[in-house]
Every structure is written in structure tokens, then in C-alpha cells.
Chain A
């Protein structure tokens, strides 16, 4: 299709620029341009749905133009517990989807939007997806671009388009290979520690490259991307390799996609390199998401609760990591350990591999796929209680009482600490 080039000097284009240009129907876009784009999909969770529904009624929306592009997922309040209003939200969303002819409605237990998008072939190389959360950048592991638009997500449903500011791009090169006891979460916690204070990734799309990427599993790559937004980065992406493309081909259902690569002359506001072999297990100390320290500096901290789950730690590799340490061991008697597989697919695979049995015998509580403990929906903390979690946030009161504290770590450190009853270096148990 012939497209008219804009009369601007355009040098090399980043991956984000190329994907956005296509979605804007332009040959090229410049960093900082405000453009209107048409998404491939719009992904939405249920929590804000009562407000979205009120707004739809207020505006007078009868039918949305592209129900086939909507991916609606109940992931935050999956148990619809008594005493909450969530069961009504579920009904409202389910009915609205049926009325609109939205086939891609996924009720409780299907998993998080992040995993639904990848596992069911919505996130494909080169696709642009409007979503309601920055952590859905995890789909960048397949070369798909997450554009988080928060509560405006209904605007994309109503118009089949929305505005965005073309982000600058940054480049992070990964080399080497993770050492024993180190996880992808430790990598991103280290990156957040280094990049958040000076804001060097603010508003950026971060492109990850380097031979270190190929040493990470697809699950690990998603963990890195899922937590990137804490730095102030807008989104993130990786060039899909053969592993990623094989995953996509198995799930694309014949739907189109195209691998998008950055031009050689693309402009990056910052470039950094990390040797994966030099990363140590990290613990992020509350209340800042970038307050990561080597595990030794937090070791010995008493914990009351531990949790493995959330979009930064609920995929099959995370379950396997947890099982490596929990096999044949028991959770400390004063600790409650919650483990939440991220989707129906992860849950089933964990069952097939015997991981759920290991968790049960170790004394862990396995929850149904959902956001669960990450936002304090389950596993609410009392005054002065301490949790160590693979969840995303550690701000004051995130999981309940304002005097409770949440430390963050990767699944190996959380599992080791749940067993010991205090924050513990997982390498001590793996040696």
C-alpha cells in the first residue's frame, strides 16, 4: 500500500516508531509526535468496569465498532468474594460483552490479561495493543507493543483509535547468562535500581537486545518487561528470536503478523549493557519499587507471609523455580505461602509436572489464576506484618495495613525465605 511520506527529516526508525507508524497509517513518525493510532486489540480488566459502564451510558454508546478487537478479562477479583461488589461487576461485564458480541471474554480463572494475550495468540510480532496497565509490556517478549492507556481504555473501544505520544527509545543490551540462584526478576530489579532515580528511561520504549536475551526463557523475558514501567518507561519490547516465533506460530491461528526490526540509524536516548552473569539475587526494600539491594543486605528479616504470583512472577518457569526449593521441604510454621499460577495453561502445566503436589506437600496455599495477593485482594496483611513477594508493588498499604511492609524478590528468593521464615539467599539452599 502506497503511503505518503511526511515532509519531515526522518532518520532511522526504532521498533516503537515503526509499529506506531503502521498503526497511524503513516510511513514514519517522529519521537514526540502526538498521533492517533488504530490498535490491533484493546485489552481490559474488570476492576474499573462499573465506571466504564457508567461512562459508556453517559456518552450514549450503543455498539462499539470492532467487538472483534476487544479482549476482556476478569483477572483482578476472580473469587468474587462475599462482602465485595465484584460479583456484580462480573455480571455487568459478562452481559455487556454478550450484548456487544465480544467473543474474547475470559472469565475468572482464565488468567491475567498478560498471559491471555500471549497464550491465545493475540500478542503477535508487530501488533499494537492498547491496554489498561503498563505491566502488560510483558507481551513485548513476542515483539508486540503494549500502549498502556489506563482508564481511557474504553475510548479505544468506542473509537477503535486513540492518541498517543510517540515515545523515545532506549536500548538495553543483555550479555552473558544468569548464575545459580539468580532469576529474571533480579535482573529487572537491578535495572530499576540503576535507572529510576535519574529518570533516564522516562517515557521510553526500551528495546532489549544482545545474546543474553536468548539465554532467558520466554517466561523470564516477560518478567523483565512486566516490571519495566516502574522506571517510568512507557513500554518495552524485544526482537522475537526463533524461540519466540515458534511460540507465536503455534498460537497465531492463521492471524497475520510481521517481525519489526529497528533501523541501523535509529536514535536511542540512552544505551546500557548488563552482564547477566554479574547479577545477584536482589530484594527490593519498601516503599520504593527501585529500592533493590543484594539479598545479603536484607537477609534475616522476619517474614509473616510470602507470595509467588503476579504478572512479574506467575509463569511456568516461576512455578518450576518455586518447586525446585519446595520439593521435600516445608514452609516455616509461622509463614503463609501463597502461590498463584498465572493462567489456566500454567495451572494445568504445573499440575502435569507435579508442581502443585510439591506445593501442597510443602504447606503452600495454591490460589486460582488471577492477580490475587499482588494487590491485597487475597492475603491481606495486618498491622506490622511483613511479606516477601514476587508481586509488582511495595508502596505503603498495598496489601492491607499501612504499617505492614512488603519486600519484593524473585521466586527462588521468596521460596527459600518462606522455608526459612526469614529473608534468605536462595543460593544457600541450592548449593
Chain B
């Protein structure tokens, strides 16, 4: 089942800490539970003031080159808590991909996406196959997630996945990971 959603399109070099969110406002929360209400309220508001009020569960963010550079983990949590199903970017740093997936938000690196999609269009994007289905019927292909990454995504993040795995495992300590 390929996630399909309405596109919120952003440009190149969008900062995570100083653009998608405003990290300076929440940095005293290090170590505390994420304040998802506050993160939702600030998500993308600097770039698209209407975003927090108008974003809907299942929407897709499309970003340009070096999307979300300089991102603390709260950047990923803000997008996931806003209901974003998938992020598709021209390019981004590896840390963003990790932090996002760890928190249940899949990021697909798909060169060519920025030119192929307009804001407000509906596209399909499936991290498991790496396929992005454009409104024209054209399909862009990116590197598919590994089996383990798909498990993390479907579980809603690493912690929920490990929680489930440990719960069904009598000898809890000693998870072997996958051989992907």
C-alpha cells in the first residue's frame, strides 16, 4: 500500500533548526518528553505561515537540495507530529534520514523530485519500493529501504519496534538485528 498525499513543496537549503522549526525556542527541553503541541505549532510556520493550521494527516513534504540541514531530532518529530506521512527530497544529510526514521518519519532521497512535482498536487511515495508515483503517471525511483528500515517505519519508529520485539521475546536482551 503506497502512501498517497497532498504535497507541501519547499525549496533548496531549508534549515531544519532555523527554518522548519525554531530550535532556539525549545532548546531548554533537552532530555524532556517532546512537546509535540509546541512543535506542531511552529512546524514550517516561518516558511509557510498557514502550514500548522492546514496540514492534514497523510500529507507529503517535498524538499529540494540539502533539505533540513542542521536538524536536531525535534525537526523530525515536528513533521511527524504534524501528520506528514513521507518526506521526499532532492538530497539531505544522512543524519536527517536517520533521526526521521528513528521517529517514524520516512525520508526518501529522490533526485528529480523537485522539478517533477508542484505544490498542492497529490503523489504516491513508497519507501519500501523506493517508487514515487507522479500525477502524470510517471514513476521516479529511489533507493528502497532495507527490510529493517521498513520494519522501523511501519512500527512508527525504532522504539515502538523494539518495544514490540522485546515483548514477544522471552530472552529479551540480545536482539540480533537483521542481515540486510
A-B complex is real: yes
- A residues sitting closer than 8 Å to B (CB atoms) are 32, 34-36, 47-51, 54-55, 58-65, 76, 85, 89, 134, 148-152, 155, 158-159, 161-163, 165, 167, 196-197, 199, 202-203, 229-230, 232-234, 287, 289, 375-376, 393, 395-398, 402
Q: Does B115 contact A (CB under 8 A)?
A: no
Looking across the interface, which residue of chain A has its beta carbon closest to that of B178?
A36
Of B15, B65, B73, B172, the residue contacting A61 (CB under 8 A) is: B172
State whether A161 touches B177 (Cβ < 8 A): yes
State whether A162 touches B31 (Cβ < 8 A): no
Of B31, B97, B143, B177, the residue contacting A48 (CB under 8 A) is: B31
Q: Does B148 contact A (CB under 8 A)?
A: yes
Q: Report the minimum CB–CB distance from A45 to chain B (whole Å).
A: 10
Against A, the Cβ 8 Å flags (1 = close, 0 = not) of B136-180 are 000000010110110000000011001100110000111111111
Q: Report the minimum CB–CB distance from A165 to chain B (whole Å).
A: 6
Of B24, B70, B99, B146, the residue contacting A163 (CB under 8 A) is: B146
A49 to B30, CA, bound (A): 9
Of B15, B25, B66, the residue contacting A395 (CB under 8 A) is: B15
A-B contact pairs, 25 of them (CB 8 A): A34-B143, A34-B145, A36-B179, A48-B30, A48-B31, A51-B31, A58-B163, A59-B159, A61-B166, A62-B173, A63-B173, A65-B174, A151-B73, A159-B176, A159-B177, A161-B177, A197-B13, A199-B65, A199-B91, A232-B92, A395-B18, A396-B22, A397-B25, A398-B24, A402-B24
Q: Does B69 contact A (CB under 8 A)?
A: yes
Q: Does B94 contact A (CB under 8 A)?
A: yes
Looking across the interface, which residue of chain A has its beta carbon closest to that of B148?
A163
State whether A34 touches B97 (Cβ < 8 A): no
Known: A58-B163, A151-B73, A155-B158. A85 touches B92 (CB 8 A): no
Q: Does B95 contact A (CB under 8 A)?
A: yes
A35 to B143, CA, bound (A): 13
Q: Does B93 contact A (CB under 8 A)?
A: yes
- B residues sitting closer than 8 Å to A (CB atoms) are 13, 15, 17-18, 22-25, 27, 30-33, 65-66, 69-70, 73, 91-95, 97-99, 102, 143, 145-146, 148-149, 158-159, 162-163, 166-167, 172-180
CB contacts (< 8 Å) of B158 on chain A: these are: 152, 155
Q: Report the minimum CB–CB distance from A384 to chain B (whole Å).
A: 15
Q: What total of A-B pairs shows CB separation below 8 Å?
A: 128
Known: A36-B148, A199-B91. A396 touches B162 (CB 8 A): no
Looking across the interface, which residue of chain B has its beta carbon closest to that of A60?
B166
The 5 closest A-B pairs by CB, nearest first: A397-B24, A34-B146, A161-B177, A50-B31, A232-B93
State whether A35 touches B180 (Cβ < 8 A): yes
State whether A234 touches B94 (Cβ < 8 A): yes
Known: A163-B148, A395-B17. A62 touches B69 (CB 8 A): no
A54 to B145, CA, bound (A): 28
CB contacts (< 8 Å) of A55 on chain B: these are: 159
A197 to B94, CA, bound (A): 17
State whether A396 touches B73 (Cβ < 8 A): no
A85 to B102, CA, bound (A): 25
A63 to B171, CA, bound (A): 11
CB contacts (< 8 Å) of B93 on chain A: these are: 202-203, 229, 232-234
State whether B13 touches A202 (Cβ < 8 A): no
A395 to B16, CA, bound (A): 11
Q: Report the minimum CB–CB distance from A365 to chain B (whole Å).
A: 23
State whether A396 touches B24 (Cβ < 8 A): yes
Of B18, B94, B95, the residue contacting A396 (CB under 8 A) is: B18
CB contacts (< 8 Å) of A162 on chain B: these are: 177
Looking across the interface, which residue of chain A has its beta carbon closest to that of B144?
A34
CB contacts (< 8 Å) of B91 on chain A: these are: 199, 202-203
Q: Which of A59, A62, A395 has the most CB of B within 10 A?
A: A59
State whether B173 touches A150 (Cβ < 8 A): no
Of B22, B24, B94, B174, the residue contacting A203 (CB under 8 A) is: B94
Known: A60-B166, A396-B24. A151 touches B31 (CB 8 A): no
Of B13, B98, B172, the residue contacting A60 (CB under 8 A) is: B172
Of B13, B15, B175, B180, the residue contacting A159 (CB under 8 A) is: B175
CB contacts (< 8 Å) of A34 on chain B: these are: 143, 145-146, 148-149, 180
A196 to B102, CA, bound (A): 25
CB contacts (< 8 Å) of A54 on chain B: these are: 33
Q: Which of B13, B172, B173 has the most CB of A within 10 A?
A: B173
Q: Report the minimum CB–CB distance from B104 to chain A (whole Å).
A: 12
State whether A59 touches B163 (Cβ < 8 A): yes
Q: Report the minimum CB–CB distance from A6 to chain B (whole Å).
A: 12
Q: Report the minimum CB–CB distance from B144 to chain A (whole Å).
A: 9
A60 to B146, CA, bound (A): 25
Looking across the interface, which residue of chain B has its beta carbon closest to that of A230?
B70
Known: A48-B31, A150-B73, A232-B93. A62 touches B172 (CB 8 A): yes
A156 to B178, CA, bound (A): 13
CB contacts (< 8 Å) of B148 on chain A: these are: 34, 36, 163
A60 to B95, CA, bound (A): 26
CB contacts (< 8 Å) of B70 on chain A: these are: 230, 289, 393, 395
